[in-house]
Structure 1
Amino acid sequence: MLILLRAGVIGLNVALVLAEKGYGRHTTVIAEHLPGDTSINYTSPWAGANFSAISASDPNALRWDKLGYMHLLSLAAKDGKNAFVKETPSVEYWDELPSREKIDSMAAYLKDFKEIATQDLPAGVAFGIKFTTITINAPMHLLYLLRKLTQEYGVQVIRKKLPRVSSGYLSKDTKVVFNCTGNAAKELPGVQDSKCFPTRGQILLARASHVQQNIMRHGKDYETYVIPRPYSNGNVILGGFMQKNVGTPDTFGEESESILTRTTDLLPALNSNETEVLGAFAGLRPSREGGARVARENVQVGDAGRRVVVVHNYGAGGTGYQAGYGMAVEAVNTVTEEINALDIQSHL
């Protein structure tokens, strides 16, 4: 048996990779919150969500981004409407020049990638690109993944809050536990990763069906973005904030005003009678110093000290939707021997 802790986008992607390899009926997701729920402790539904250059420039982030983009691009082409993912034209600006390594990495695989000429950049912007991104209707995509996993692949789901990571070992038949606990990894007994911290974001949900492009501006201490939410009756996500070590679920009027001012400056088309703000929401990105952790660990459980395997897969911050599939592939690859021991015919 293979156990997944938590049902955010990270955990659901691990379950998907396992299911695609033929292990769906031997996989169980255990989570306090499931797609369709809302809680400040359940981050994934609050996301924008899209593929963007917001990630770091280290080799892990670059590798996960590429794997994630290719997966989402394929999904948009094959099952986009059902999966609530869509190709969308995108513009991204930086106030400070990003690393050449990151630029070259993106240029190698992003569809329709083009650097914007310096004379065409807005005031205060040092660098810009155009490319085809993938936008994602986050809450609906999570429901799609859950339905696909349970109905097509036979993945089991248990709604339960576990007191410690070792509680994932439901029986002696449990071979591997994938720890995809996000922000909870900081305090969860058996993990207690002091490098983890929340990064609060506030967004506005608006109806602006005339907006059909993704646009972002990466500042030194801010992020501004307009992300159309595909297959949502014209909704868009306006943001945002990147507040490290802030964990309040409250939303604030002055932050909403800041978002409206910045996004309208970035995309003047928002200043229209067709734009209607529907609400303000906050979410806590599961961040980690040094980047996400994808690693296996051999641990002991029970009085007999049985040796078992935990695969940690958390700390993606604001990149869970774009990097999640790549992280899942690598997480599963760390336990190839244990999974192969299940001796099940692959569906691939």
Structure 2
Amino acid sequence: MGAICNSATDNYASAGIIGLNVALVLAERGLGSRVMVIAEHLPGDTSIKYTSPWAGCNFSAISGSDANALRWDRLGYAQLTRLESLEGEKSYIKRTPSTEFWDEDVPHDKIRAMSEYLEDFRILPSGELPKGVKFAVSFTTVTLNAPKYLEYLHRRLRDQHGVHFVRQRLSDIYAAFSDNNTRIVFNCSGNEAKTLGGVEDEKCYPTRGQVVLARAPGMRRNVMRHGKDYVTYIIPRPGSNGNVILGGYLQKGNGDGSTYSYETESILDRTKKLALELSENEPEILAVVAGLRPSREGGTRIQREHVIVHGLERSLVHNYGAGGTGFQAGYGMAIDAVQSVDDILSTLKSDKLRLKL
């Protein structure tokens, strides 16, 4: 969430991957010292309400096939691979060999678009497909250590770009305009968009996932299998001494933050069948966690809204509802959100206003 102001104002949003990407795009425009991220939770925290640290996470074909999703993915892949090339291990991003399998409902439009830019893209011949699989591709993905990547972005934004971070929760979206000089607020409130006063978007819902964090140093590749009513994935976690994320579940409308042993057993069974590295060398279970992806009927909402606060016309930019695609598509979403207020941002070079997110 963000605002343009000349003094500190209040916002409400977790500093998740969506908000941090908006801050990054603004900072890359030279506005870092005018950006403030105000959030109930900051990188390094854990809470069922703070989704981003629980992510797998990787770049995959799990996102949509509409024009926006295709463009956001392309921008995200370019940004993540560029960052990995420039920053190396300290970014907690790593180029990783990847294979994705589909049992049915192959998203050919999506795959065709991805083939145009993914490194080492290849369609696997039918003779290489496991039983029950209709289609598969291999390519070089990027895997991320989600909690460490968030902390890396936090440090980079704060130390290199002068972005300010404040821990605070607001009662409603309009409280972000408490300073009369605040002109723009970026609403990156994730799951809270359903209940946050002034937003209250009934299209929002959580999509629950349960994952197993395990130590399996022999697992150095990313593998995903998309089934009719399940998704199974193995994602190596960079900079973690051989840890992997094993998943998973996509439970629409389920806001339960508990974990269940039968789901853990299902995950272990499915992932061992997917990779010999796990079946031949028993992974050491380190933790089992659940996360709630911030989803929305109709997909991500990126929209500029004109609001009247204290008798003044201001801009509220919504950017939420990314579901499980925030890490791979969030940078592209942020570009669109920021571009929606280009007319205001263009004036910042010539005045003394401060931008706050």
TM-score (norm 2): 0.94
Deviation at 1:279, TM superposition (A): 1.4
Aligned to 1:150: 158
Q: Is the 8 A contact 1:97 1:127 kept in 2?
A: no
Deviation at 1:271, TM superposition (A): 1.9
Q: Is the 8 A contact 1:195 1:288 kept in 2?
A: yes
Per-residue CA deviation, residues 21-51 of structure 1 (Å, 9 max, x unaligned), is 0111111111000000000000000000100
- Structure number with the bigger relative contact order (C-alpha 8 A, sep ≥ 6) is 2
> Does the residue aligned with 1:221 lie in a helix, a strand or coil?
coil
Backbone CA RMSD of aligned residues:
1.3
Deviation at 1:113, TM superposition (A): 0.5
Deviation above 6 Å: which 4+ runs of structure 1?
none
- Alignment counterpart, residue 214 of structure 2, candidates 189, 206, 210: 206
> Does the residue aligned with 1:10 lie in a helix, a strand or coil?
helix
Say if 2:178 is the partner of 1:136.
Answer: no
Q: Is the 8 A contact 1:22 1:344 kept in 2?
A: no
Aligned to 2:299: 291
- Alignment counterpart, residue 311 of structure 1, candidates 312, 317, 326: 317
Deviation at 1:174, TM superposition (A): 1.5
Deviation at 1:238, TM superposition (A): 0.1
- Alignment counterpart, residue 226 of structure 2, candidates 218, 225, 231: 218
Say if 2:45 is the partner of 1:65.
Answer: no
Question: Separation in 2 of the partners of 1:187 and 1:225?
Answer: 32
Per-residue CA deviation, residues 77-100 of structure 1 (Å, 9 max, x unaligned), is 111211100000000011114233
Q: Which runs of 5+ in 2 are unaligned?
A: 352-357
- Alignment counterpart, residue 188 of structure 1, candidates 176, 196, 203: 196
Deviation at 1:166, TM superposition (A): 1.3
Give the aligned residue type for 2:223. Answer: I
Q: Is the 8 A contact 1:23 1:344 kept in 2?
A: no
Question: Separation in 2 of the partners of 1:111 and 1:54?
Answer: 17
Aligned to 1:102: 110
Q: Is the 8 A contact 1:43 1:285 kept in 2?
A: yes
TM-score (norm 1): 0.96
Question: Separation in 1 of the partners of 2:242 and 2:280?
Answer: 14
Q: Is the 8 A contact 2:54 2:147 kept in 1?
A: yes
Q: Is the 8 A contact 1:209 1:274 kept in 2?
A: no
> Does the residue aligned with 1:328 lie in a helix, a strand or coil?
helix
Aligned identity (percent) is: 56
Question: Separation in 2 of the partners of 1:192 and 1:13?
Answer: 23
Aligned to 2:94: 86
Closer, same or farther: CA 106–255 of 1 in aligned 2, 3 Å? same
Q: Is the 8 A contact 1:45 1:142 kept in 2?
A: yes
Closer, same or farther: CA 18–229 of 1 in aligned 2, 3 Å? same
